[in-house]
Amino acid sequence: MKGMVNLLTHRSPRPVTLAIMDGVGCREEALGNAVSAAFTPNLDWLLANCRFRLLRAHGKAVGLPSDHDMGNSEVGHNALGAGRFYPQGARLVNEAVETGAIFEGKCWQHLVKYSFEHEGAMHFIGLLSDGDVHSHIKHLEAMLSRLAFKEKLQRARVHILLDGRDVGETSALEYVDRLESMLKSLRQQAGVDYRIASGGGRMKITMDRYEANWGMVELGWKTHVAGEGRRFPSAEAAIRTYRQEEPGIIDQDLPPFVIADEAGSALGPVRDGDSVVFFNFRGDRAIEISRAFEEKNFSHFERSPHPKALYAGMMEYDTELHIPGNFLVDPPHIEHTLGEYLCARNLRQMAISETQKYGHVTYFWNGNRSGKIDERLEDYIEIPSDMTPFEQRPWMKAAEITDKTVEAILSKRYDMIRLNYPNGDMVGHTGVFQAARIAVETVDLCLGRLIAATRKAGGILLVTADHGNAEEMYEIDSKTKTPKLYPDGKIRAKTAHTLNPVWFIVYDPTGDDCIAFNPEIGEPGLTNVAPTIMQLLGIEPPEIYDPPLLLFKEQC
């Protein structure tokens, strides 16, 4: 096997516990760094007393188009669980758009035909940004241009979800202006009627995940489909009005709005005979709205109205449950995950997090597969998340996650435990530095409890992250290396993920195995974690995996 090292065969510690500090990256600069500013005695002790390496958690290392693309929780957990990278949503959609394959596919042709046959409009719903985490505005632009000039469909409506999370926190008008300019050009050059119809912040409507708040999806349905809500003459007017009414509000939290025509009627509700494309490529925040459009026995809210519209997603968001039924680009087909290998060897596993990241240690870890691999051997534990804004409760449910994990470690029932602390990511996205610092300190406090339990049980603790976030909380000017400022002198908060590496720390309380890292592996990434876990469990990683990271006693 490429890069293979000797396996730990004389002692197989139980359990091997993987703690994922979501959104906690490694960055040397202290400016805007909530991780280095936090009081983290346990993380500091691990770094001073244990062997560790930095792992790549962004760009091509996790299957994204380029190394300018920041990592995210979806691709990060795919990589952690799969042992090698797969081309991910952004890259797959880019290729489909560039080659034209997306427009030659049966799904696109069916959507267009349906709209023509029923004299309907085509609607596009999705996140309007170039963050390249959930969506990219260029994909929307390509579809609108194709529809206007090639398909010559007369009417299209765009329902925009405002980002402020994977891009600048108040950058919405940049993307609205860009889209409005294109729509105006299409109206003038192709003679079509293409307009923005509705919108709202991504954390207010439509983009809920893991069934944490179906009310968001219901509000999105009323906004996009029914055309109900506060009305404005334009998206720009809505955004500016909301900002004036609530100074300091960021894009992801903007209330919903509906664009009205000159008569005051909603410009673009979804009607019978229309077709709908949800143009996000990432799955977690696209599944619930897809279910609302497609599920026959839907019971989470009243769909009023419930038009007879043809719906499709950019991708198949759940490959196990086949959600949605229609999709434009085939998703990555991830198989032979770590979970599958461990189940095949009758090894017991536990996965745990709170609602915000529960799907990441289950669905994404298992290669975008819902449900358990083996009911007999796996326990999945979801701690319900609070509905309170994260900056107001930066500790989130870390203590409860730790309670269950410590109990599991000491029980010695499991061979492998994986857990996710969402704090660094979810609180980091708020842009509130003080809250992010407390979030990191919370996770550190919990690490201390995991260290103690691991020592008592004689297991091994691995500490890593899926991407960075909290270590870079300010927008930094690349030339002056100082924080960017708003006109009023306030520092511009950075709410997006980062390009920074993450730690991979190995805590072996016995020290018997003299665990060291293999220096021959030059730039390891998240994909090296799964084969390394197999090493520690005394299992030879398969040839298809990236090489494991460790050397053992006889090689130290």
DSSP-assigned letters across all residues of 354-417: EHHHHHIIIIITTTS--S-S-TTTEEEEEEPPPSS-GGG-TTTTHHHHHHHHHHHHHHT--SEE
Number of neighbours of residue 157 by Cβ within 10 angstroms: 25
Spatial separation of the C-alpha atoms in residues 61 and 67, rounded to whole Å: 8
Domains of the chain in sequence order: 16-53+345-525 (3.40.720.10), 90-329 (3.40.1450.10)
Active site residue 73: yes
| Active-site hit among 36, 66, 73, 129 | 73
Q: Rounded to the nearest 5°, which phi and psi values hold at 416?
A: -145, 135
Helix (H, G, I), strand (E, B) or coil at 273: coil
Query: Taking a C-beta distance cutoff of 8 angstroms, is the pair 64, 132 a contact?
Result: yes
Q: Cβ neighbours of residue 156 under 8 Å, at least 6 residues apart?
A: 121, 122, 123, 124, 144, 147, 148, 192, 193, 194, 195
Q: Which pTM does this prediction carry?
A: 0.78
Strands 257-259 and 231-232 turn out to be parallel
Q: And the tokens for 342?
A: 């461990």
pLDDT of residue 12: 62
Spatial separation of the C-alpha atoms in residues 405 and 399, rounded to whole Å: 10
Which of these, 529, 535, 516, 549, lies nearest to 19 by C-alpha position? 529
DSSP-assigned letter for residue 254: P
Cis amide bond preceding 324, omega within 30? yes
pLDDT truncated to tens, each residue of the chain (556 aa)? 333 344 444 446 689 999 999 999 999 999 999 999 999 999 999 999 999 999 999 989 998 888 888 888 999 999 999 999 888 888 899 999 999 999 999 999 999 999 999 999 999 999 999 999 899 999 999 999 999 999 999 999 999 999 998 999 999 999 999 999 999 999 999 999 999 999 999 999 999 988 989 999 999 999 999 999 999 999 999 999 999 999 999 999 999 999 999 999 999 999 999 999 999 998 889 999 999 999 999 999 999 999 999 999 999 988 767 899 999 998 888 899 999 999 999 999 999 999 999 999 999 999 988 899 999 999 999 999 998 999 999 999 999 999 999 999 999 999 999 999 999 999 999 999 999 999 999 999 999 999 999 999 999 999 999 999 999 999 998 889 899 988 888 899 998 899 999 999 999 998 766 678 999 998 999 999 999 999 999 999 999 999 999 988 665 5
Helix (H, G, I), strand (E, B) or coil at 519: coil
Q: How many CA atoms lie within 13 A of 410 on its CB side?
A: 12
